Amino acid sequence: MQGFNLLKANIRKEYIEYKRYLPNTIAMLLTFYIIFIGMFAGIQLIGDPTMQETNIQFVIVNYIFWYLAMIVVNNIGWQITNEATQGTLEQLSMSPMGIWRIMLARLISSTIVSFLIIVVLLYLSMLTTGQWLNIDILTILPILILTLISMFGLGFIIAGLSIVLKQIQAFLQILQFILAGLTFVPLTAAPFLAYFPFVKGVDLVRAVMIDGVTWSQIRMEDFMILGFNAVFYFVIGLGFFFLCERVAMKKGLLAHY
């Protein structure tokens, strides 16, 4: 119950910040909407007409996952850097819930809020363009959840690094492109990437949305890789975060001011 209250507090904070800076939020929503529409229109103009529908879905799925990866992985790094500079990170570290639970609540809440925004804008874009993607929620949802768990692991690694390293901003900027690479490169081009965080998940979602693959058609082996990645990266991420937290507490790095 305490964990649920913690999650609620963080979702509320996220919501308040979106509401408080309404012009920013509107600008972000508009940008998103324009990018979606642009992707639909752009691919219609420059893409291969015979592959038009496939291309649209491919790019949109990749873009959504890239955005989610940035929210989960990159944002947590920025947030920690800002909080360490402001002085609030120390206050959060004194919660008996433990800073890792607060960070997990942050990761989940920002994912939920961003995901809701993405879904609404995606449907709005489909309504505007009249092109409807194959969204099989029941098949996509479990894949998405397992994929997000591995992303959270990566988020914890970045959160840990952000606590220990003061100059992480430059790395976070480069990370955006690494994340783009991981989401946009198809697994057929680099099969070894299946064991990288969230790449297998993106590939499976693409299979569902583009090829119309259903739950029963997904191979057990694919699910096992997905499950393994989720557990492996989450455990590694959390372990690394604990290690960084300990280093920070040894060296007095919880405040960067």
Partner 1 sequence: METIIEVQNLKKSYRKRKSKEYIHAVTDVSFKVNRGEIVGLLGPNGAGKTTTIKMICGLLIPDSGTITINGINNQEKRLKALRHISAVLEGNRNLYWRLTVRENLEYFAGNRGASKKEVTRQVDELLEKFRLQEKASELVNRLSRGMQQKLAIAVAMLADSDVILLDEPTLGLDVETSYEVRDLLRSIATDYNRTIIISSHDMDVIQDICERTVIINGGKIVTDDRVENLLRLFEVRAYTITLGEQLSDKQQKLLNLMFPEAEYKADTIQSTVEVDLEKSEAIYDLFDIFKQEETPVESIDRKSINFEQIFMKIVKGEMDDARVQSS
Which positions touch partner 1 (CB under 8 A)? 1-3, 5-6, 8-10, 12-13, 16-17, 20, 86-88, 90-98, 102, 246, 249-252, 254-255, 257
Cβ closer to partner 1: 21 or 215? 21
Shortest gap between Cβ of 176 and partner 1 (angstroms)? Answer: 24
Cβ closer to partner 1: 86 or 173? 86
Shortest gap between Cβ of 68 and partner 1 (angstroms)? Answer: 24
Count other C-beta atoms under 10 Å from residue 103's C-beta: 24
Which helix (H) or strand (E) segment holds residue 67: the answer is helix 52-69
Please list, residue by residue across 1-27, b when 16 or more beta carbons sit within 10 angstroms of its beta carbon and e when fewer do. eeeeebbeebbeebeeebeeeeeeeee
67 contacts: CB under 8 Å, gap ≥ 6: 114, 118
Cβ closer to partner 1: 130 or 252? 252
Shortest gap between Cβ of 69 and partner 1 (angstroms)? Answer: 26
Cβ closer to partner 1: 20 or 50? 20
Shortest gap between Cβ of 255 and partner 1 (angstroms)? Answer: 7
DSSP string, 34-58: HHHHHHHHHHHHHS-GGGHHHHHHH
